């Protein structure tokens, strides 16, 4: 893939991160370095053009070798952009060599520029962190990590060199104190400013130094070098922040898309079985006192015949339209999910049995009255059978109390008779306060509704059967779920 400036747009960042080949990303990294080197090259051009005005506080003798080195480095990375474009993405060894060369050359280059132009915490910090962060995105992370540490080591060596008697070349002329120094050492920017201000302050009354008291030469030198460091650091800092802002937006979108696919049925766009059970469990855990919860399981009648007679594409279309009918007929608080195949799970929080029966009956009518219009085929209707079960708050309390008793007995059995106690008492109080339900409560509710669904199929399909009513007839009014425990 050809790499150009147009790929820096926000719309391309997602594709760059997730779809581009490793060679293309490395080529883009080299292109970014070319842009940074270009900023340095134009700075040298400006200094050369204004050398008559700047030679007082810029050592022009060091400018030419620096400018020549910047030019060679820019050509090197420009050739790398072209070379990676023509290289094969399948050659892992060659690509690794390219990335190692990129890391070594760039780290040596940026460290040299920082030393030559004069240390600035802003410029050095942006170069150190920004280069490593960008490298983490575009090249192998272990190479970017090593580049980061190599950069730190080189900067520490440069900072310590004056204290070891080693003089490093520096473009910055010391406007006040340089006649007092035998050579130009690599000192930090703050040390230079402190030394200059301390020497200049001796000439003023009460050792007070303000901006108006500083010489024009010092003001020009300070302004020039601070402007230089801002010029070198800010574009890169802004670009890095922009890239990571865009990256975070891409990751947010990717996370949303991942969750959507993880929680949503691809065909019907309803929630899938796993997410439906998760929401059902949450609804059971957060249901308030004196609130009932109803569960419906519906199955399309004779769906296999639709697939056999018309094909699976028509069967898929039927599932899509039935899903749309369910979504349009129920409120947002209702939990609707595709349970599997042609089965759908519907959970109605805070819904009593009579209301749930009315809702189920209305859904049955809506499905039966919906006409399937398939292109090239005669219009037809489908029906559905419903199994419904309502967990009343009285039964829920009974289940919770029974579960608490069993849990307490297990806790006491695991506790030594010599240590009774406080741990058991705390466990009992926590269980009592939480009113826990069994971990398989969702499966038991669905299993009960499924028995009612099976009965609806047995009675001739296209009808709603209540498990509450079914077991009330068989068991003399005893609640099914608590009895089956």
Asked whether 164 and 156 are in contact (CB, 8 A), the reply is no
Question: pLDDT tens across 45-90, in order?
Answer: 999 998 888 888 788 889 999 999 999 999 999 988 887 766 655 5
Is-contact 388 296, C-beta < 8 A?
yes
DSSP 212: G
Q: What is the pLDDT tens value at each position of the chain, 485 positions in all?
A: 554 444 445 455 555 565 677 888 888 889 889 999 999 999 999 999 988 888 887 888 899 999 999 999 999 999 888 877 666 555 788 888 889 999 999 999 999 998 888 777 788 888 888 888 888 888 888 998 998 999 889 888 887 887 787 878 888 775 544 444 444 444 444 555 555 555 555 544 455 545 455 556 555 777 788 888 889 889 888 888 887 787 777 777 777 777 777 788 889 989 989 888 999 988 888 888 888 999 999 999 999 999 988 899 999 999 999 999 999 999 888 999 999 889 999 999 989 999 999 999 999 999 999 998 888 788 899 999 999 999 988 888 787 776 555 555 554 444 333 333 434 444 444 334 335 777 788 898 999 999 999 999 999 999 999 999 888 877 654 545 544 44
Gap between the Cα atoms of 295 and 356, Å rounded: 8
Q: How many CA atoms lie within 13 A of 404 on its CB side?
A: 18
**184 phi and psi, to 5 degrees?**
-90, 110
Query: What's the pLDDT score for residue 421?
Result: 41
| Lookup: tokens for 141 | 């992370």
> What is the per-residue DSSP string for 163-195?
GGT-----SB--TTTGGG-SS-----HHHHHHH
According to the model, what pLDDT value does residue 11 have? Answer: 54
Torsion of CA 311, 312, 316, 322, to 10 degrees: 60
Neighbours of 67 (CB within 10 A): 17
What pLDDT score does 216 carry? 60
User: Using CA atoms, how far apart are residues 108 and 146, in angstroms rounded to an integer?
Assistant: 13
The reported pLDDT for the residue numbered 67 is 93
Max CA separation in the chain (angstroms): 109
Q: Could you give all domains of the chain from N- to C-terminal order, each with its CATH number?
A: 5-261 (no CATH), 273-484 (3.30.70.270)
Asked if 173 and 57 count as a contact pair (C-beta separation under 8 A), the reply is yes
The per-residue pLDDT for 179 is 44
Write the burial class of residue 299 (CB in 10 Å: 0-12 exposed, 13-18 middle, 19+ buried): buried
- Tokens for 107, please give them: 């780290």
Q: What is the pTM of this model?
A: 0.57
The CB density around residue 420, as the number of other CB atoms within 10 Å, is: 11
Cβ-Cβ contacts under 8 Å for 41 (sequence gap 6 or more):
67, 70, 71, 74
Q: Which residues contact 36 (CB under 8 A, 6 or more apart)?
A: 236
**Closest residue by Cα to residue 274 from 346, 339, 344:** 339
Tokens for 194, please give them.
């402190």
Residue with token string 């967990």: 391
Beta strands in 222-300 (DSSP E): 293-300
């Amino acid at each position: 893939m050809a790499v150009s400036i147009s790929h820096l747009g926000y719309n391309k960042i997602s594709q760059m991160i997730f779809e581009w080949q490793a060679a293309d990303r490395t080529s883009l990294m080299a292109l970014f370095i070319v842009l940074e080197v270009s900023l340095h090259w134009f700075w040298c051009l400006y200094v050369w053009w204004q050398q008559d005005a700047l030679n007082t506080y810029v050592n022009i003798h060091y400018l030419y070798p620096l400018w020549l080195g910047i030019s060679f480095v820019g050509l090197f990375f420009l050739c790398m952009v072209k070379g990676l474009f023509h290289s094969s993405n399948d050659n892992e060894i060659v690509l690794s060599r390219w990335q190692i060369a990129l890391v070594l050359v760039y780290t040596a280059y940026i460290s040299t520029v920082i030393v030559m132009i004069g240390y600035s915490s802003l410029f050095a910090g942006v170069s150190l962190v920004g280069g490593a962060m960008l490298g983490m995105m575009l090249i192998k992370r272990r190479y970017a990590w090593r580049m980061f540490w190599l950069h730190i080591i080189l900067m520490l060596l440069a900072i310590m060199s004056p204290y070891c008697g080693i003089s490093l070349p520096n473009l910055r002329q010391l406007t006040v104190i340089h006649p007092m120094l035998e050579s130009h050492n690599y000192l930090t920017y703050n040390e230079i400013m402190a030394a200059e201000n301390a020497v200049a302050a001796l000439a003023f009354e009460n050792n007070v130094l303000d901006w108006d008291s500083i010489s024009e030469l010092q003001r020009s030198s300070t302004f020039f070098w601070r402007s230089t460091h801002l010029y070198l650091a800010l574009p890169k800092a802004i670009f890095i922040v922009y890239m990571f802002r865009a990256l975070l937006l891409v990751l947010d979108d990717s996370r949303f898309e991942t969750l959507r696919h993880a929680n949503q049925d691809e065909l019907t766009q309803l929630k899938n079985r796993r997410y439906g059970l998760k929401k059902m469990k949450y609804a059971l855990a957060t249901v308030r006192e004196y609130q009932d919860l109803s569960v419906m399981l519906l199955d399309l009648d004779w769906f296999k015949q639709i697939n056999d007679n018309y094909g699976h594409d028509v069967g898929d279309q039927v599932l899509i339209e039935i899903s749309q009918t369910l979504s349009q007929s129920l409120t947002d608080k209702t939990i609707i999910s595709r349970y599997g195949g042609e089965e759908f799970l519907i959970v109605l929080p805070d819904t009593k049995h009579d209301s749930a029966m009315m809702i189920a009956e209305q859904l049955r009518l809506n499905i039966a009255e919906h006409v399937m219009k398939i292109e090239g085929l005669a219009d037809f209707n489908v029906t559905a059978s419903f199994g419904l079960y309502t967990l009343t708050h009285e039964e829920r309390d009974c289940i919770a109390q029974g579960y608490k008793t069993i849990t307490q007995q297990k806790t006491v059995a695991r506790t030594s008779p010599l240590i009774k106690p406080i741990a058991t008492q705390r466990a009992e109080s926590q269980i009592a306060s939480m009113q826990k339900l069994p971990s398989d409560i969702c499966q038991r509710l669905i299993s009960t509704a499924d028995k009612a669904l099976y009965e609806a199929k047995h009675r001739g399909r296209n009808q709603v059967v209540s498990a509450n009513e079914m077991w009330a007839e068989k068991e003399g009014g005893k609640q099914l779920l608590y009895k089956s425990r």
